[in-house]
Amino acid sequence: MEKSYKSLSVAIKALNKEGYTEDFNLCDAGIENKSKKEVHDATALEVVKYYRFEGETNPGDSSVLYVIETSKGDKGLLVDAYGAYAGNISKEMIEKLKIV
């Protein structure tokens, strides 16, 4: 998985082929797997890798793609338009999604 991608859509397509098919979304309690209607808190997930994408014409169009595996074995992706600090999420989740 140590690759770089030209765009967010190319990365999502390639990572889906590698088995990261679940669609995660940030929520107050952690991340939500919409298809399974499950919420995972920060202790129940691992960020395997992340990728940053900058807008070609506007740096404000930045996004981060997190590659995530949960303790239940779900593998999926979380796209955040501005990084983990943009939403109303727990301190534990902010630490988990911190880009170093």
Condensed to tens digits (0 to 9), the pLDDT of residues 34-87 reads 899 999 999 999 999 999 887 665 555 688 999 999 999 999 999 987 655 555
Nearest CA to 50 out of 29, 16, 17, 78 is that of: 78
**Across-strand partners of 77?**
23, 67
Give 54's DSSP letter.
-
Q: How many CA atoms lie within 13 A of 72 on its CB side?
A: 9
**Per this entry, what is the length of the chain?**
100
Condensed to tens digits (0 to 9), the pLDDT of residues 74-92 reads 999 999 876 555 556 777 8
pTM for the whole structure: 0.84
Q: 85: exposed, middle or buried (C-beta count within 10 Å: 0-12, 13-18, 19+)?
A: exposed
